[in-house]
A and B are shown apart, each in its own frame.
Chain A
Amino acid sequence: EVQLVESGGGLVQPGGSLRLSCAASGFTFSSYSMSWVRQAPGKGLEWVSYISGSGSTIHYADSVKGRITISRDNAKNSLYLQMNSLRAEDTAVYYCARGHSYGYENWGQGTLVAVSS
Protein backbone atom coordinates (compact mmCIF):
# COMPACT_ATOMS: atom_id res chain seq x y z
CA GLU A 1 0.00 0.00 0.00
CA VAL A 2 1.31 3.41 -0.98
CA GLN A 3 1.77 5.70 2.01
CA LEU A 4 2.91 9.31 2.15
CA VAL A 5 3.36 10.86 5.58
CA GLU A 6 4.21 14.55 5.93
CA SER A 7 5.81 16.12 8.97
CA GLY A 8 7.54 19.31 10.01
CA GLY A 9 4.69 21.79 9.96
CA GLY A 10 4.01 24.23 12.75
CA LEU A 11 3.75 27.86 13.79
CA VAL A 12 6.52 30.14 12.56
CA GLN A 13 7.01 33.89 12.59
CA PRO A 14 7.09 35.91 9.37
CA GLY A 15 10.55 35.74 7.87
CA GLY A 16 11.23 32.41 9.53
CA SER A 17 12.12 29.03 8.09
CA LEU A 18 10.68 25.55 8.19
CA ARG A 19 11.59 22.21 6.64
CA LEU A 20 8.83 19.84 5.66
CA SER A 21 9.42 16.12 5.14
CA CYS A 22 7.41 13.45 3.39
CA ALA A 23 8.17 9.80 4.16
CA ALA A 24 7.16 7.46 1.35
CA SER A 25 6.54 3.72 1.46
CA GLY A 26 4.86 0.99 -0.54
CA PHE A 27 6.44 1.82 -3.90
CA THR A 28 9.81 2.32 -5.59
CA PHE A 29 10.30 5.92 -4.56
CA SER A 30 13.10 6.75 -7.00
CA SER A 31 10.88 5.80 -9.96
CA TYR A 32 8.30 8.49 -9.31
CA SER A 33 8.23 12.23 -9.62
CA MET A 34 6.83 14.00 -6.58
CA SER A 35 5.20 17.34 -5.90
CA TRP A 36 4.12 19.60 -3.08
CA VAL A 37 0.63 21.08 -3.24
CA ARG A 38 -0.77 23.49 -0.67
CA GLN A 39 -4.19 24.66 0.42
CA ALA A 40 -4.73 27.85 2.37
CA PRO A 41 -7.54 27.71 4.96
CA GLY A 42 -10.89 27.67 3.19
CA LYS A 43 -9.25 28.06 -0.23
CA GLY A 44 -8.49 25.93 -3.25
CA LEU A 45 -5.48 23.85 -4.21
CA GLU A 46 -2.20 25.43 -5.32
CA TRP A 47 0.71 23.51 -6.79
CA VAL A 48 3.99 24.56 -5.18
CA SER A 49 6.88 22.50 -6.54
CA TYR A 50 7.87 19.42 -8.57
CA ILE A 51 10.90 17.14 -8.57
CA SER A 52 11.62 14.29 -10.96
CA GLY A 53 12.46 10.79 -9.74
CA SER A 54 16.19 11.32 -10.10
CA GLY A 55 16.02 14.84 -8.73
CA SER A 56 17.51 16.29 -11.90
CA THR A 57 14.44 18.31 -12.91
CA ILE A 58 12.81 20.79 -10.55
CA HIS A 59 10.07 23.38 -11.01
CA TYR A 60 8.58 26.00 -8.69
CA ALA A 61 5.48 28.14 -8.64
CA ASP A 62 6.25 31.84 -9.10
CA SER A 63 4.72 32.55 -5.70
CA VAL A 64 7.48 30.62 -3.90
CA LYS A 65 10.43 30.83 -6.30
CA GLY A 66 13.60 31.94 -4.56
CA ARG A 67 12.24 31.18 -1.09
CA ILE A 68 11.55 27.44 -1.28
CA THR A 69 13.77 24.49 -2.20
CA ILE A 70 12.50 21.02 -3.01
CA SER A 71 14.78 18.01 -2.64
CA ARG A 72 14.65 14.27 -2.21
CA ASP A 73 16.75 11.48 -0.74
CA ASN A 74 15.97 8.32 -2.66
CA ALA A 75 18.04 6.20 -0.28
CA LYS A 76 15.76 7.33 2.56
CA ASN A 77 12.53 7.33 0.51
CA SER A 78 11.98 10.92 1.55
CA LEU A 79 10.89 14.18 -0.01
CA TYR A 80 11.66 17.59 1.50
CA LEU A 81 10.58 21.21 1.21
CA GLN A 82 12.87 23.83 2.71
CA MET A 83 10.85 27.00 3.23
CA ASN A 84 12.61 30.31 3.96
CA SER A 85 11.48 33.93 4.29
CA LEU A 86 8.00 32.72 5.14
CA ARG A 87 5.07 35.09 4.71
CA ALA A 88 1.53 35.12 6.08
CA GLU A 89 0.28 34.07 2.66
CA ASP A 90 2.29 30.84 2.93
CA THR A 91 -0.09 29.68 5.67
CA ALA A 92 -1.63 26.47 4.38
CA VAL A 93 -1.85 22.72 4.64
CA TYR A 94 1.02 21.31 2.62
CA TYR A 95 0.52 17.98 0.89
CA CYS A 96 3.10 15.81 -0.79
CA ALA A 97 1.75 14.00 -3.81
CA ARG A 98 2.92 11.23 -6.13
CA GLY A 99 2.41 11.49 -9.86
CA HIS A 100 2.56 14.18 -12.51
CA SER A 101 1.35 14.00 -16.11
CA TYR A 102 -1.57 11.71 -15.30
CA GLY A 103 -2.63 13.36 -12.10
CA TYR A 104 -1.59 13.04 -8.49
CA GLU A 105 -2.67 9.50 -7.65
CA ASN A 106 -1.52 9.47 -4.04
CA TRP A 107 -1.51 12.20 -1.42
CA GLY A 108 -0.32 12.45 2.15
CA GLN A 109 -2.57 13.59 4.98
CA GLY A 110 -1.02 17.06 4.92
CA THR A 111 0.92 19.15 7.44
CA LEU A 112 -0.20 22.61 8.55
CA VAL A 113 2.16 25.56 8.26
CA ALA A 114 0.97 28.69 10.06
CA VAL A 115 2.93 31.91 9.59
CA SER A 116 2.04 34.47 12.21
CA SER A 117 3.60 36.77 14.76
Chain B
Amino acid sequence: DIQMTQSPSSLSASVGDRVTITCRASQSISTYLNWYRQKPGRAPNLLIYAASSLQSGVPSRFSGGGSGTDFTLTISSLQPEDFATYYCQQSYSNIPTFGQGTKVEIK
Protein backbone atom coordinates (compact mmCIF):
# COMPACT_ATOMS: atom_id res chain seq x y z
CA ASP B 1 0.00 0.00 0.00
CA ILE B 2 1.06 3.59 -0.59
CA GLN B 3 2.02 5.32 2.65
CA MET B 4 1.15 8.98 3.12
CA THR B 5 3.14 11.02 5.63
CA GLN B 6 2.05 14.49 6.72
CA SER B 7 4.13 17.10 8.48
CA PRO B 8 3.87 18.58 10.93
CA SER B 9 1.52 16.42 13.02
CA SER B 10 0.33 19.58 14.75
CA LEU B 11 0.96 23.28 14.67
CA SER B 12 -0.09 26.40 16.53
CA ALA B 13 -1.01 29.52 14.60
CA SER B 14 -2.96 32.76 14.89
CA VAL B 15 -5.87 34.12 12.90
CA GLY B 16 -4.46 35.73 9.76
CA ASP B 17 -1.32 33.57 9.63
CA ARG B 18 -0.18 31.79 6.49
CA VAL B 19 0.02 28.05 7.10
CA THR B 20 1.55 25.29 4.99
CA ILE B 21 1.12 21.55 5.52
CA THR B 22 3.12 19.01 3.59
CA CYS B 23 2.27 15.48 2.50
CA ARG B 24 4.69 12.92 1.12
CA ALA B 25 3.77 9.70 -0.69
CA SER B 26 5.89 6.56 -0.48
CA GLN B 27 5.81 6.30 -4.29
CA SER B 28 4.80 8.54 -7.14
CA ILE B 29 1.06 9.22 -7.30
CA SER B 30 1.13 11.80 -10.10
CA THR B 31 -1.45 14.39 -8.98
CA TYR B 32 -3.95 11.95 -7.43
CA LEU B 33 -3.82 13.79 -4.13
CA ASN B 34 -6.74 15.25 -2.20
CA TRP B 35 -6.98 17.39 0.94
CA TYR B 36 -9.71 17.46 3.58
CA ARG B 37 -10.54 19.57 6.63
CA GLN B 38 -12.28 17.90 9.54
CA LYS B 39 -13.80 19.84 12.40
CA PRO B 40 -14.37 18.01 15.72
CA GLY B 41 -17.41 15.74 15.63
CA ARG B 42 -18.01 16.37 11.94
CA ALA B 43 -17.40 14.49 8.72
CA PRO B 44 -14.39 15.53 6.62
CA ASN B 45 -14.87 18.17 3.95
CA LEU B 46 -13.06 18.03 0.59
CA LEU B 47 -10.96 21.14 0.02
CA ILE B 48 -8.58 20.34 -2.85
CA TYR B 49 -8.67 17.53 -5.40
CA ALA B 50 -6.14 16.48 -8.02
CA ALA B 51 -3.41 18.19 -5.99
CA SER B 52 -4.31 21.76 -6.93
CA SER B 53 -7.99 22.05 -7.94
CA LEU B 54 -10.23 23.94 -5.53
CA GLN B 55 -13.43 22.08 -4.71
CA SER B 56 -16.59 24.02 -5.48
CA GLY B 57 -17.65 26.25 -2.60
CA VAL B 58 -14.27 26.16 -0.84
CA PRO B 59 -12.76 29.58 -0.05
CA SER B 60 -9.88 30.75 -2.23
CA ARG B 61 -7.55 31.09 0.78
CA PHE B 62 -6.97 27.34 0.35
CA SER B 63 -4.51 26.23 -2.31
CA GLY B 64 -2.67 23.04 -3.13
CA GLY B 65 0.41 22.13 -5.09
CA GLY B 66 2.86 19.41 -5.94
CA SER B 67 3.10 16.26 -7.99
CA GLY B 68 4.83 12.91 -7.83
CA THR B 69 5.58 12.35 -4.17
CA ASP B 70 5.57 15.79 -2.54
CA PHE B 71 2.53 17.96 -1.98
CA THR B 72 1.49 21.03 -0.03
CA LEU B 73 -1.69 22.57 1.32
CA THR B 74 -1.50 26.30 2.02
CA ILE B 75 -3.98 28.45 3.88
CA SER B 76 -3.14 32.04 2.99
CA SER B 77 -4.89 33.70 5.93
CA LEU B 78 -6.08 31.44 8.71
CA GLN B 79 -9.69 31.99 9.80
CA PRO B 80 -11.35 30.87 13.06
CA GLU B 81 -13.17 28.04 11.29
CA ASP B 82 -9.85 26.67 10.00
CA PHE B 83 -8.74 25.44 13.40
CA ALA B 84 -9.31 21.79 12.65
CA THR B 85 -7.50 18.65 11.50
CA TYR B 86 -6.33 18.31 7.90
CA TYR B 87 -5.81 15.08 6.00
CA CYS B 88 -4.20 14.30 2.68
CA GLN B 89 -5.38 11.25 0.73
CA GLN B 90 -4.07 9.50 -2.35
CA SER B 91 -6.53 8.21 -4.93
CA TYR B 92 -3.88 6.80 -7.28
CA SER B 93 -4.23 3.17 -6.26
CA ASN B 94 -7.20 0.84 -5.77
CA ILE B 95 -6.38 1.04 -2.06
CA PRO B 96 -6.77 4.73 -1.13
CA THR B 97 -4.79 5.84 1.90
CA PHE B 98 -4.85 8.88 4.14
CA GLY B 99 -2.12 10.76 5.91
CA GLN B 100 -2.14 10.65 9.70
CA GLY B 101 -3.53 14.17 9.95
CA THR B 102 -2.28 17.62 10.92
CA LYS B 103 -4.03 19.37 13.78
CA VAL B 104 -4.07 23.17 13.50
CA GLU B 105 -4.54 24.79 16.89
CA ILE B 106 -4.95 28.34 18.10
CA LYS B 107 -1.76 29.95 19.37
Residues of A near any B CB (own CB < 8 A): 35, 44-47, 50, 59, 61-62, 95, 99-105, 107-110
Contact = CB atoms under 8 A, between A and B. Distances in A.
B16 interface: no
Contacts, number: 60
Interface of B: 1, 32, 34, 36, 38, 43-46, 48-50, 53, 55, 87, 89, 91, 94-101
B101 A44 contact: yes
Given A103-B34, A103-B55, A45 B91 contact: no
Contacts of B48: 103
A96 B104 CA distance: 25
B43 A47 contact: no
**A-B CB proximity, top 4 nearest:** A103-B34, A107-B43, A103-B49, A102-B49
A50 B94 CA distance: 9
Contact of A45 (B44, B46, B53, B55): B44
Most buried by A among B32, B46, B87, B89: B46
Contacts of A61: 95
A59 B94 contact: yes
Contacts of B94: 50, 59
A62 B97 CA distance: 12
B33 to A, nearest CB: 9
Given A102-B53, A104-B44, 18 more contacts: A44-B98, A45-B36, A45-B98, A47-B89, A47-B97, A50-B96, A61-B95, A99-B46, A101-B32, A102-B50, A102-B91, A103-B34, A103-B48, A104-B46, A105-B49, A105-B55, A107-B43, A107-B44
Nearest to A61: B95
A46 B44 CA distance: 12
Contact of A110 (B43, B53, B100): B43
Given A105-B55, A108-B43, A47 B95 contact: yes
